[in-house]
Amino acid sequence: MAADRRDNDTRIRRLRFQPPWPDTLPFTLGDGAILLALAALLYLAAHLAFHAPMVVKGPEISLKISALPWYALLSVTRMTVAYALSFVFSLGYGYLAARRGGAEKILMPLLDILQSVPILSFLPVVLLSLSVVLPVQIAAEVACIVLIFTSQVWNMTFSFYQSLVTLPHELSEAAAIFRFAPWLRFRLVELPFAAIGLIWNSMMSWAGGWFFLMAAEMFTVGSRDFRLPGLGSYLHTAADAGDLHAVMLGVLTLVVVIVLLDQLVWRPLLSWSRRFRLETVATAHDSESWLHDLLSRSWLVQQWLERVWEPLVERIDQRMQDPATEIAAPETPLAGSWRQWRSRLWLLLIMLPLLYGAGRAFGMLMTIPAHAWLSIAVGLGATFLRVTIALLLALAWTVPLGVAIGTHPRLAAVLQPVAQVVASIPATALFPVLLLALLNLPGGFEVSAVLLMLLGTQWYLLFNIIAGASAIPQEMRDMTALLRLPLLERWRTLYLPALFPYLVTGAITAGGGAWNASIVAEYVQFGGKTHTTVGIGALIANATAAGNYALLLAATLALIVAVVLINRLFWLRLYRLAERRYSME
């Protein structure tokens, strides 16, 4: 009995949140190896880009109203494929990072760097290199889905990982006492606990996908036109032509699609996720979904669940149980030595091309003059100030509104669809209008750059705060009401501590999104003119337009290093604080 208890305690300690980032050094040799690999891949892609077709003609984008339904279907299909890839990646990556021992020491720093990569700076060379090995149309589709994938996946992965590492002790103990195998613990304990955060972050992922849709479907590199038919290219073409009527029709179609998705997908999922709240008393007024109510009362759905779904889940559970352990034959010293040498050989085969590419990339960086490096440093400082201002403005209004929506179901029934619609309207589609209104004002483009960053990133915070507020147990809210705590005391003792892990997750993804958005916020082509300001995003956009791959590589790597250092020196401390003091127990 004592041995079982010690075993359970060991399991529980393993399930506790152990931040995978280094304790002392903000930048390690592993980070350097990852950056070298990224530099090598970028160099190899740029090398392939020189062999891409010199002239690529994309399809004509019709501005007729009759084309909008077909364009909407194409865009939703691309978004769906990217979301499916993002969801599978988030579950697999987050689980491995949180539950597979030493894997988190590699996977989380890697994720930290990958979410810092400005995909818009990689997209030109990736698209050009794909067009060498694939038909142009397929290459454009793959690049579009990859760009949307990178705008959706990181916040979902961070959310799922955060849910796993802050799993309450009681749930960990229950899984250990019932001796759940890893699959059953994942399906019955971990995934339900993460469901609320995953659903809200899925909604945010779709909103982020709409934000980058215009850039993904309407991409040109010099004389190469890689545009794709869709809502994003329709809005971009209408804005370039100055056709406000077509812009309004495109935005209206987008709003209709978003409302349909809200009513047919997200509201039913949110209503269904009520069962996963950590509470022992029923909520007085839960948000309702007419489709969820209709399906829950449907005889056909009930029969399908009983006759198809439940037997299928039982079969999967049986197959996923740990197989009986077999007694392995003792390994001979010769076999062990051969396996070690084989692993080293595979590692050498992988490292050789990466080292070659890293060396060539280093040679490319050595060609950059000193004044260009000074411009990169100044650009990083300017963009850092804009990102900081955008995050502070976002926090000022998302925290109170997110708590109000997450704790008042009646208010959520009204404001949650509005927030979803507004968040999903691409800020890049409205940016020309904002630019026209602000350009004549002093510092107008600076204000518009911060505003575009804000519009593109504030929703990461809002949706994570709503998810955190929704997950607060009802009995805790009832207790603060019974104690008649003043409003400020209620915020200090309940709301802010409960929201803290969600705030950290939302701020990390919002910060990364703001750095990425700087590429489209600091360099804008509109009305036949180019508007630019000092910033690392403007440098990357200028280098992309000029085909200056050396400057593009240097600016991109500098941006990645800056974001990683910020995460390690600031957000790491907050993650540790969340683990020590603000886990839901």
pLDDT at residue 47, rounded to an integer:
63
- Residue whose C-alpha is closest to residue 121's, from 60, 193, 51, 39: 39
pLDDT at residue 532, rounded to an integer:
83
State the angle between helix axes of 333-365 and 29-49 in degrees (0 to 180), rounded to the nearest 10.
Answer: 60
Using an 8 Å Cβ cutoff, are 226 and 123 in contact?
no
* CB neighbour list of residue 187: distance below 8 Å, 6 or more residues apart: 317
d(CA 477, CA 125) in angstroms, rounded, equals: 52
pLDDT at residue 286, rounded to an integer:
52
Q: Dihedral through CA 289, CA 291, CA 297, CA 301, nearest 10?
A: -140
* H helical segments located in 134-276: 136-165, 169-177, 182-185, 191-217, 231-241, 244-261, 267-272
What phi-psi label fits residue 502: left (phi over 0), alpha (psi between -120 and 50 degrees) or beta? alpha
CA angle 257, 419, 525 (to 5 degrees): 70
pLDDT at residue 76, rounded to an integer:
94
d(CA 445, CA 449) in angstroms, rounded, equals: 6
Using an 8 Å Cβ cutoff, are 560 and 38 in contact?
yes
Provide the residue-wise pLDDT of the chain in tens; the chain has 585 residues. 444 444 444 443 333 334 444 444 556 666 666 677 777 766 666 666 555 555 456 678 888 999 999 999 999 999 999 999 999 999 999 999 888 767 777 787 778 777 777 766 666 666 777 777 778 788 888 888 988 898 889 889 988 988 888 888 888 888 889 888 889 999 999 999 999 889 988 988 887 788 777 777 876 665 667 788 998 888 878 877 778 788 889 888 988 998 898 889 988 998 888 888 776 555 554 556 888 888 888 888 889 988 999 898 888 888 887 554 444 445 556 555 666 676 667 666 667 776 777 787 788 888 889 899 999 999 999 999 999 999 999 999 999 999 998 888 778 778 877 877 777 676 666 666 666 676 666 667 788 888 888 887 888 899 889 888 888 888 888 888 888 888 888 888 888 888 888 888 888 888 888 888 888 788 876 666 777 888 998 898 888 777 787 888 888 888 888 888 888 888 878 877 776 777 666
d(CA 241, CA 257) in angstroms, rounded, equals: 24
The structure tokens 């060396």 sit at: 359
- Residue whose C-alpha is closest to residue 72's, from 236, 232, 245: 232
d(CA 40, CA 514) in angstroms, rounded, equals: 26
pLDDT at residue 18, rounded to an integer:
40
* CB neighbour list of residue 393: distance below 8 Å, 6 or more residues apart: 450, 454, 458
pLDDT at residue 293, rounded to an integer:
85
User: If DSSP states are collapsed to H, E and C, what string results for 284-331?
Assistant: CCCCCCHHHHHHHCCHHHHHHHHHHHHHHHHHHHHHHCCCCCCCCCCC
pLDDT at residue 379, rounded to an integer:
93
> Letter for the amino acid at 56?
V
pLDDT at residue 385, rounded to an integer:
94
